[in-house]
Amino acid sequence: MAELDAEERDNLDRKQFAFPKQRKEPLEDAGHVRSAIGRFNQVKGVTDEERDEAWERIKAAARRHDVEVSVDDWRELGND
């Protein structure tokens, strides 16, 4: 996963984040998608509706970057 500095992060389009309003969890490569999945439940200050939308964006990014997602719904994360 490429480390993003502040300028690179600021230059990303909102659509490249799982949580675009908050600009949290970038999704521009496979490493960032894996990180977004792993840190998903740590994101604060978002509604369940925003989590639903973010999860759909993460799943779409996972397909684009060939990342396997083992759960269908974010509510299943950590319930293995």
Q: How far is CA 71 from the centre of its chain?
A: 14
Asked if 31 and 24 touch (Cβ cutoff 8 Å), the reply is no
Mean pLDDT of the chain: 90
Q: pTM of this prediction?
A: 0.86
Q: Which of 69, 9, 76 is nearest to 57 (CA)?
A: 69
54-76 per-position pLDDT tens digit:
999 999 999 999 999 999 999 99
User: Span 37-50, mean pLDDT?
Assistant: 96
